[in-house]
Chains A and B, each alone.
Chain A
Amino acid sequence: MSLFAKDSMEHDHLEQLENQSVYILREAYANFKNLAMLWSIGKDSTVLLWLARKAFFGHVPITLVHIDTNYKIPEMIRYRDQLAMDWHLTMVYGQNKGALERKETFPDGNITRLQCCKNLKTDALKNTLSGEWPRYRLNLQTGKYETDKNKDPYTGVIVGARADEEGSRSKERYFSPRDKNNEWDVGDQPPELWNQFKTDFAPGTHLRIHPLLDWTELNIWEYIQRENIPITDLYFDKGTGKRYRSLGCYPCTTPVDSTSKNVAEIVAELKTGKFANIAERSGRAQDKEDGGGLETLRRDGYM
Chain B
Amino acid sequence: MEPTRIATPFAPTGVPGSMVDGRIRMNIVIVGHVDHGKSTVVGRLLADTGSLPDGKLESVRAFCERNSRPFEYAFLLDALKDEQAQGITIDTARTFFKSGKRDYIIIDAPGHIEFLKNMVTGAARAEAAVLVIDAKEGIRENSKRHGYLLSMLGIKQIAVAVNKMDLVGYSREAFEDIRDEYVAFLARIGATPRFFLPISAFNGEGLIHASDKMPWYKGPNLLSAMDNFEKEPPKANQPFRMPVQDIYKFTSLGDDRRIVSGRVESGSIQAGDPVVFLPSGKKSRIASIEAFHAVAREEIGADISIGFTLAEQIYVGRGELMVKAAEVQAEVSRRLRINLFWMGKKPFQPGKTYHLKLGTAKVPCRLEKINYLIDASETGGQTKSAVERHDVADCIIELSKPLAFDPIARLEATGRFVIVDQYEIAGGGIVREALPEDAQAIGSAKPSLLSRSAVSAEARAELMGQKPALVILSGGPGRDPKVAAKALEARLIGLGRHAFYLGLEDAQEADSHQSSESGDAKIVSGWEAEIPAAQLGQAASLLLDAGLLVVAAAKGLDSEDIKTLENLVEPHAVLQLEAPADAEEATGTTAGLVEEALAKLRASGAIGGI
Interface residues of A (CB under 8 A from B): 1-3, 9-10, 12-13, 16-20, 22-23, 26-27, 29-34, 53-59, 61, 88, 155, 163-164, 166-168, 170-171, 173, 186-187, 189-194, 196, 198-203, 213-214, 216, 227, 254, 256, 271, 277-279, 282-283, 291-292, 295
Contact = CB atoms under 8 A, between A and B. Distances in A.
A57 B245 CA distance: 14
A17 to B, nearest CB: 6
B518 interface: yes
B30 interface: no
A184 to B, nearest CB: 12
B10 interface: yes
Interface in B505-521: 517-521
B15 A13 contact: yes
A193 B120 contact: yes
Nearest to B91: A171
Contact of A58 (B255, B298, B360): B255
A13 B16 CA distance: 9
B94 A170 contact: yes
Contact of B19 (A9, A57, A189): A9
Interface string B248-259: 101011010101
A63 to B, nearest CB: 14
Interface residues on B, range: 35 or more
Interface stretch (B39-47, B187-195, B303-311): B303-311
Pairs of residues from A and B, 4 with the lowest C-beta to C-beta distance, nearest first: A193-B124, A191-B117, A167-B79, A22-B305
A29 B519 CA distance: 11
Contact of A191 (B11, B120, B253, B304): B120
A191 B517 contact: no
Contacts of A278: 3-6
Contacts of A59: 248, 250, 252-253, 255
Quick one: which of A166, A194, A292 has the most chain B CB within 10 A? A194
Quick one: which of B248, B295, B307, B420 has the most chain A CB within 10 A? B248
B252 A33 contact: no
A285 to B, nearest CB: 8
Contacts of B425: 190-192, 196, 198
B305 A23 contact: yes
B7 interface: yes
Contacts of B236: 1
B216 interface: no
Contacts of B17: 16
Contacts of A271: 21
A20 B15 contact: yes
B596 interface: no
Contacts of B80: 167-168, 171, 186, 292, 295
Interface stretch (B286-294, B376-384, B391-399): B286-294
A171 B301 CA distance: 31
A9 B7 contact: no
Given A88-B252, A200-B423, A254-B1, A187 B82 contact: yes
A194 B261 CA distance: 19
Contacts of A256: 3
20 contacts: A1-B234, A18-B305, A20-B15, A29-B246, A30-B360, A33-B520, A55-B305, A58-B292, A88-B252, A163-B10, A167-B80, A189-B118, A191-B418, A193-B121, A198-B423, A200-B423, A200-B424, A203-B521, A214-B12, A227-B293
B14 A33 contact: no
Contacts of A295: 80-81
A186 B19 CA distance: 30
A173 B236 CA distance: 29
A194 B81 CA distance: 29
Interface string B75-104: 000011110000000110110000000000
Contacts of A279: 3-7
Contacts of A56: 248, 250, 292
Given A22-B305, A30-B360, A214-B14, A57 B259 contact: yes
B90 A196 contact: no
A298 B516 CA distance: 33
B13 A214 contact: yes
Contacts of B592: none
A10 B20 contact: yes
B6 A277 contact: yes
Nearest to B154: A194
A34 B250 contact: no
Contacts of A29: 246
A279 B79 CA distance: 15
A50 B80 CA distance: 32
A34 B236 CA distance: 37
Contacts of A187: 82, 90
Contacts of A199: 519
A164 B79 CA distance: 12
Contact of A167 (B7, B250, B307, B413): B7
A198 B424 contact: yes
B5 A277 contact: yes
A12 B4 contact: no
Interface string B356-376: 010010000000000000000
Contact of B4 (A30, A254, A282): A282
Contacts of B245: 23, 26-27, 30
Nearest to A278: B3
A298 B93 CA distance: 18
B538 to A, nearest CB: 26
B307 A57 contact: yes
Contacts of B556: none
B290 A33 contact: no
Interface string B328-362: 00000000000000010000000000010100100
Contacts of A88: 252-253
Given A3-B297, A19-B305, A200 B12 contact: no
Contact of B246 (A17, A26, A194): A26
Given A167-B80, A187-B90, A194-B413, 9 more contacts: A1-B236, A3-B298, A30-B360, A54-B293, A166-B8, A171-B79, A171-B93, A193-B416, A196-B425
A59 B303 CA distance: 22
B109 to A, nearest CB: 12
Nearest to A186: B82
A10 B81 contact: no
Nearest to A177: B423
A279 B6 CA distance: 5
B304 A193 contact: no
Interface string B159-178: 00000000000000000000
Given A190-B117, A256-B3, A155 B428 contact: no
A10 to B, nearest CB: 7
A57 B250 contact: yes
Contacts of B117: 189-191
Given A30-B245, A33-B520, A88-B253, A291 B305 contact: no
Contacts of B91: 171, 186, 189
